[in-house]
């Protein structure tokens, strides 16, 4: 009984201390990932809770073609922009990779459907 109580306390301490060490997370995507848009946006924005450094941004088009997207800034930031992503009609996915400031590689994707009326 005594053992399991101290084990529980240790686990609780671990849970409380983990977030301070964990890597950053996405706080916003503009336009919001999952959006259906009439045309490719002039710029796509990706925001993080803490600074990270983007290492790769790839646009996967409706025909599964892959193209590297430009992004700014090149260094560490909590907010990035992908100017003129040039998305085609259909389903587009922006796949990004970044180095979090805790040294971990993180990755994610943003989905946009271009549907001109
Ligand atoms: Cu981490």
* pTM exceeds 0.85 for this model: no
Residue ranges near ligand 1 (ion) with Cβ within 5 Å = 23, 102, 104
Q: List Cβ neighbours of 81 (8 Å cut-off, separation of 6 or more).
A: 43, 44, 45, 46, 71, 72
Note down pLDDT in tens along the chain; length 117 residues: 566 777 777 666 655 555 555 789 999 999 999 999 999 999 999 999 999 999 999 999 999 999 999 999 999 999 999 999 999 999 999 999 999 988 999 999 999 999 998
CA of 22 to the centre of ligand 1 (A): 4
CA of 100 to the centre of ligand 1 (A): 7
CA of 20 to the centre of ligand 1 (A): 10
Before 3, cis peptide (omega within 30)? no
d(CA 33, CA 68): 18
CA of 18 to the centre of ligand 1 (A): 10
First vs last C-alpha separation in the chain: 67
d(CA 63, CA 21): 40
């Amino acid at each position: 009984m005594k053992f399991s109580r101290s084990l529980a306390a240790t686990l609780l301490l671990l849970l409380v201390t983990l977030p301070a060490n964990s890597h950053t997370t996405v706080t916003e995507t503009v336009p919001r990932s999952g959006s259906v848009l009439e045309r490719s946006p002039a710029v796509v924005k990706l925001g993080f809770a803490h600074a990270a450094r983007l290492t790769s941004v790839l646009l996967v088009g409706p025909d599964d073609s892959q193209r590297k997207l430009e992004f700014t800034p090149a260094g560490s930031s909590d907010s990035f922009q992908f100017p003129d992503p040039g998305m085609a009609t259909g389903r587009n996915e922006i796949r990004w990779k970044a180095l979090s400031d805790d040294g971990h590689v993180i990755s994610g994707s943003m989905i946009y459907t271009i549907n001109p009326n």
